[in-house]
Chain A
Amino acid sequence: MSLLEIENLTVEFQTAQGQFRAVDGVSLSVDQGELMAIVGESGSGKSVSMLALMGLLPWTATITADRLEFDGIDLVRQSARDRRKVIGKDMAMIFQEPMTSLNPCFTVGFQITEALKTHLGGSRATRRARAVELLNLVGLPEPERRLNAFPHQLSGGMNQRVMIAIAIACRPKLLIADEPTTALDVTIQAQILDLLLDLREKEGMALILITHDMGVVAETAERVSVQYAGQKVEEQKVRDLFRDPHHPYTSALLSALPERAQGKKLPTLPGVVPGLFDRPEGCLFAPRCAHAFDLCHKRQAVQAGAEDGFALCHTPLRKGVPTSLEGASLEGQVRS
């Protein structure tokens, strides 16, 4: 049985200009102890879908889902009060900006033990001992002294370690890491990633890694879900995805990696993710797609089967070639 089941999750924001759909029918499933990566550029709804799962979106957001199940609990029907018993305990999250994610007015020790106190109780002494143990676990030197430190006295990397300590304090079954290394410098990025992978192994927890760094995905994840403009456009095992991306967007992301570039110029993907006003009528990726044809601009994309990585595309690629050109009956699709 999978640990997390998301089916057809949609998140809409009430804005002054009308409804904005940030997440559009995303489905996802994560097994116990699995490492899943969600990739996509800014504005593709990666963070929003996970924040929706955690119940951390502002009240302007409307969340609908056919199924939202975590560890056998139906999150859709659960009250906010019951949800709070799960989040921070069995399901935890760390964020992009470690320097602003910790409360500047409280010591590191307070912020770690608070999570323990809320969910596990226990005496003051046991909580403190556990906090020291956690700081050791996340590789912070002199943990006992650090407990009395304030976040501004620590570096960004140290703060992210503290955030991780808070998140894993109650031994969660699932840890969601929302671009945990984006705000850190490169040497620290690798350390934090290694730490997360290491902890996942030690604690046996599942990890969802939100990132826009394909390099990170290649090194770490088992399965990848690619999101674009709020939709999941492809999902594959990492090795298969890198070998044979089926969605033109995935393909474009991969060919923009310097390691994979051929020729002198690094290929880029022109344009940006559509916003509230320039949402295309047909396939959302069509305006930027190298393989788009008439149908793509007119009709919303359909999901392909597992053999094509569930690609949300009229003509999924196989070995870089659109399948429709391989003889699929285009005419038939237009008529139907």
Chain B
Amino acid sequence: MIKLLFRRVGLMIPTFIGATLLSFLFIRMLPGDPVLLMAGERGMTDERYQRLLHEFGFDRPYWQQYLEYLWGVLQGDLGESFRTKVPVLQEFLTLFPATVELSLCAMLLATVIGIPAGVIAAIRRGRALDHGTMGTALVGYSMPIFWWALMLIIVVSGQWGLTPVSGRISLLYFFEPVTGFMLIDSLLSGQEGAFGSAVQHLILPTIVLGTIPLAVVARQTRSAMLEVLGEDYVRTARAKGLSPFRVVGIHALRNALIPVTTTIGLQIGVLFGGAILTETIFAWPGIGKWMIESVSARDYSVVQGGLLLIAVIVMVVNLMVDLMYGLINPKIRY
């Protein structure tokens, strides 16, 4: 176990260096000059432009800039935003809870609905319910996320007026963030209706972000379940005279969950990607929206720092999933 942990963490080091290099290069490959963008429409004199370029260090060769960036990263310094002059790490930490809250809710939706849907489709294999569930899952998987989000906003928020269009909480409420998670903070604030408002704001983004993972989880559960239901040990369980609920819900599902857990873990990486779109559409103040805005402004240090932090989090999540695998699959003991 300890040995495996060391090996896996050791493997993360080259991945980490690769991530710093890619995040550094990606933003510089984009056309556009951060200094000119900062100047806005009025532009600036050549002399001032050169001075700013020198101030930010952009007049030096790339390799020098990269080494300096890497040196900073190793000391825990990701630089500061050109626009706000706030350290990147600090901005990230303020915004990250919003993304985590949204992603967790989306993942919760995907598992709580996706796993039962997959199980039901598997035991009703080939019948109407199976085709219906899997057809819906395919539609959910293939649908463009932005279109789905806009449709939901138009119908649910616009026509029915059931949910707010954007943001994390109504402007009526204001309190200092404690945990950064709106659901918890709104409860802690003790303000009447704050929690309800936070929930209402979460509903549509959760559905939009959760749709693809939901479809993936449902389809994966169905196929894992179908495979497991044909196994000898399921027949043994039935030969014991157990109820169908116990045979499917305990003996079969326990085995089917092994591949499903891996899928859920992999989906977490996908969620961070999906969050960019969802957060932008719903004006959700998370890291997705933050990244998009920083790319538009060519805020180099924010983009490279943000990408790097996301990469690290995905790596850590994957490591945790691998370790969890040993808990749910008795055949793997580290």
Contact = CB atoms under 8 A, between A and B. Distances in A.
Interface string A213-244: 00000000000000000000000000000000
Contacts of A88: 239-242
B243 interface: yes
Nearest to A166: B240
B233 A103 contact: yes
A212 B322 CA distance: 45
Interface in B291-334: 328-331
A84 B239 contact: no
B160 to A, nearest CB: 42
Contact of A56 (B231, B238, B258, B330): B238
A84 B243 contact: yes
A164 B206 CA distance: 50
A45 B238 CA distance: 20
Contacts of B331: 104, 150, 152
Contacts of A150: 330-331
Contact of A95 (B235, B240, B251, B254): B235
Interface string A89-105: 10011010100111111
B241 A101 contact: no
B330 A101 contact: no
Interface in B234-253: 235-243, 251
A166 B240 CA distance: 8
Interface string A64-95: 00000000000000000001111111001101
Interface residues of B, number: 20
Contact of B233 (A89, A101, A115, A118): A101
A103 B236 contact: yes
A101 B231 CA distance: 8
B255 A87 contact: no
B257 to A, nearest CB: 9
Interface in A133-164: 150, 152, 163
A100 B232 contact: yes
Contacts of B329: 105
A119 interface: yes
A179 B181 CA distance: 60
Contact of A87 (B231, B239, B251, B330): B239
A118 B246 CA distance: 10
Given A104-B330, A104-B331, A87 B241 contact: yes
Nearest to B241: A88
B242 A118 contact: yes
Nearest to A87: B241
A102 B237 CA distance: 9
Contacts of A115: 240-241
A158 to B, nearest CB: 16
A150 B331 CA distance: 8
A73 B159 CA distance: 63
Smallest CB-CB A-B distances: 4 pairs = A88-B241, A88-B240, A103-B233, A100-B232
21 contacts: A54-B239, A55-B238, A56-B235, A87-B240, A87-B241, A88-B239, A88-B242, A97-B232, A100-B233, A101-B232, A103-B236, A103-B237, A104-B255, A104-B331, A105-B255, A105-B258, A105-B328, A115-B240, A115-B241, A150-B331, A167-B239
Interface of B: 231-233, 235-243, 251, 254-255, 258, 328-331
Given A103-B237, A104-B233, A115-B241, 14 more contacts: A55-B238, A56-B238, A86-B241, A87-B241, A88-B241, A93-B239, A100-B231, A101-B233, A102-B233, A103-B233, A103-B255, A104-B255, A114-B240, A150-B331
